[in-house]
Amino acid sequence: MTFKNIGFGSYRVSNKIEEHYTALRKAITEGIDLIDTSANYADGESEILIGRVLKDMISENVISRDQITLVTKAGYIQGQNYRRAIELKKEGKLYSDTVELQDKLWHCISPEFLDDQISRQLERLGVEHIDIYLLHNPEYFLDGAKKDGVEMSEARKIYYERIKKAFIHLEKKVEEGKIKCYGISSNTFPEYADDYSFTSLEEILNISRSISENNNFKVIQLPFNLIESGAVAIKNQFSKTKTVLELASEAGLKVLINRPLNAITSKGLVRLSEFSTEPFLEKDFINQMKLVSQIEEEIINGKLTDKEIDESTIDRFKKNLNFGKTIEEDWKFFGSIEHFNDLVNQKFAPGIVIITDTVKEYIKDEDLKDLFSNYTKEIFKLLNFVSNYYKLRAAKRSGFINSVINKKLDEKFHGLTLSQKTVLLLNSVKGVSCVLVGMRKDKYVDDMIPVLGKHDITNAEEIIRNVSMEIQIAET
């Protein structure tokens, strides 16, 4: 099993977005030969997109199937899987060992669930086999057990029994030719050994060897970046004498790294890349904020009441015509560009869609339609102001991280972008096989190609430890 050291991460990729199709094609054309996805990414749309790209490129004789290493995962019960699970529960046929974590988020790695998922995933991907099949964050069981007050040693005993059952089933899938090998993707491989949700690679290896000395447990996936450096900094294996990367290397496992450019810190998500910025003029921003608020006031207290619109429609508008007020109250407290972008996707954009759809359905007056059209344009201008404010802060943060890296980095690498330096550093660490980078845009692919196949920073671990330490100091 061979592949290059940068893989195409498909967490935010969807078949519904054509830009993602062109980005994946470009990545494969440029030499990236490992694609990582999961059943729950974009509720299956990620796998569908990958299948479409592979089908097209194979039929055009651009690539052959054996040139691509295809990685996918299962475990999450969300979206369509959740809706099916609800119906199965009503019928008394829910998959065994399902962990009902919260509304719309369950988790399962039982053999019958994995069997169902593999069949569906092969169909979505349009392939006869999956190269690497991973249990996706099985530690969710431990999260649920901790919440339920289960004693840690008992929870861990059940946890590893569940993993063993899953491994036995996946060995059968290898025999059937449905998958080539299997493994685990866990966020807690690099955690401290006494953390409740810790996943021990040592224990997983013991499980795999108890099944067969010729087992097909070949791959692990875990988070590792310049800030979350547990993979090299925390000795959590063999009575705290080895790191997870050291043990994986000794065991001959392939190690896939996720979240290389997205670090979770005490202050939220940090994006390890450069940011293109525009000037932020607070006076212009305040004027724009007042303009949006004035338009909202005009619509709610004047224009809507002047028209023959029912009360329920007016109430729907009132609940969503509050962008100006929300921004005015909170614009300095969104924390980071990453958090603000999440708010745009989760709150602001859906609110704009509700307003636009309601206008289309209920508003007939052309003048009022024009007013709403102008209003949405002004909202986008306002959001762009806020975005620029946080991008400038993020750019300052990225500049600081760059300066810390460059203190100990050979000058020949100084001209690389922060994201390129990050990926190159991670790939230069012993034990790392492939760094998975989200490349849903052509420009992200272009950014990674210059460091594809490279792993030649000799003091990578020292730099990573230093960056992690200095950022922690800066945050305190």
Residue 452 lies in a domain: no
| Together in a domain, 262 and 287 | no
pLDDT at 366 over 90: no
Residue 190 lies in a domain: yes
What does residue 147 show for φ and ψ, rounded to 5 degrees?
-65, -35
Return d(Cα 186, Cα 394) in angstroms, integer.
28
| Together in a domain, 191 and 226 | yes
| Together in a domain, 265 and 287 | no
Sign of the CA dihedral 448, 450, 456, 462?
negative
Per-residue DSSP letters for 189-223? TTS-TTSTT---HHHHHHHHHHH-TT--EEEEEEE
Mean pLDDT (whole number) for 5-28: 96
| Together in a domain, 288 and 180 | no
Helical (H) or strand (E) element with 76? strand 76-77
pLDDT of res. 274: 85
Residue 181 lies in a domain: yes
Q: Which pLDDT band, with edges at 50, 70 and 90, does 303 fall under?
A: low
Comparing 207 with 266, the larger pLDDT belongs to 207
Query: How does 38-55 read in b/e, with b if 16+ C-beta sit within 10 Å?
Result: bbbbbebbbbbbbbbbbe
pLDDT of res. 317: 79
Comparing 351 with 208, the larger pLDDT belongs to 208
Question: Which of the listed residues 241, 271, 301 is the one where a domain comes to its end?
Answer: 271
pLDDT at 322 over 90: no
Helix%, strand%, coil% for the chain, nearest 5:
55, 15, 30
| Together in a domain, 253 and 129 | yes
Residue 24 lies in a domain: yes
pLDDT at 225 over 70: yes
pLDDT at 279 over 90: no
Residue 232 lies in a domain: yes
| Together in a domain, 257 and 192 | yes
Q: What is the CATH number of the domain that holds 46?
A: 3.20.20.100
Mean pLDDT of the chain: 93
| Together in a domain, 257 and 292 | no
Comparing 115 with 278, the larger pLDDT belongs to 115
pLDDT of res. 473: 77
Encoded tokens for 301:
């207290």
Residue 409 lies in a domain: no
| Together in a domain, 252 and 291 | no
Question: Which of the listed residues 365, 394, 423 is the one where a domain comes to its end?
Answer: 394
Rg (CA), the chain: 25
Question: Which of the listed residues 246, 271, 296 is the one where a domain comes to its end?
Answer: 271
| Together in a domain, 75 and 216 | yes
Tens of pLDDT along 387-433? 999 999 889 989 999 999 999 999 999 999 999 999 999 999 999 99
* Count: domains in the chain: 2
Q: What is the DSSP letter of 266?
A: T
| Together in a domain, 207 and 307 | no
Tens of pLDDT along 433-470? 999 999 999 999 999 999 999 999 999 999 999 998 88
| Together in a domain, 192 and 307 | no
How much is the pTM? Answer: 0.89
Residue 466 lies in a domain: no
**Domain span at residue 289?**
282-394
Residue 419 lies in a domain: no
pLDDT of res. 409: 95
| Together in a domain, 250 and 125 | yes
Q: Please report where in the chains the tokens 């829910």 appear, as a residue.
A: 94
pLDDT of res. 8: 98
pLDDT at 305 over 70: no
Half-sphere exposure of residue 90, counting CA atoms within 13 Å on the CB side? 6
Comparing 472 with 99, the larger pLDDT belongs to 99
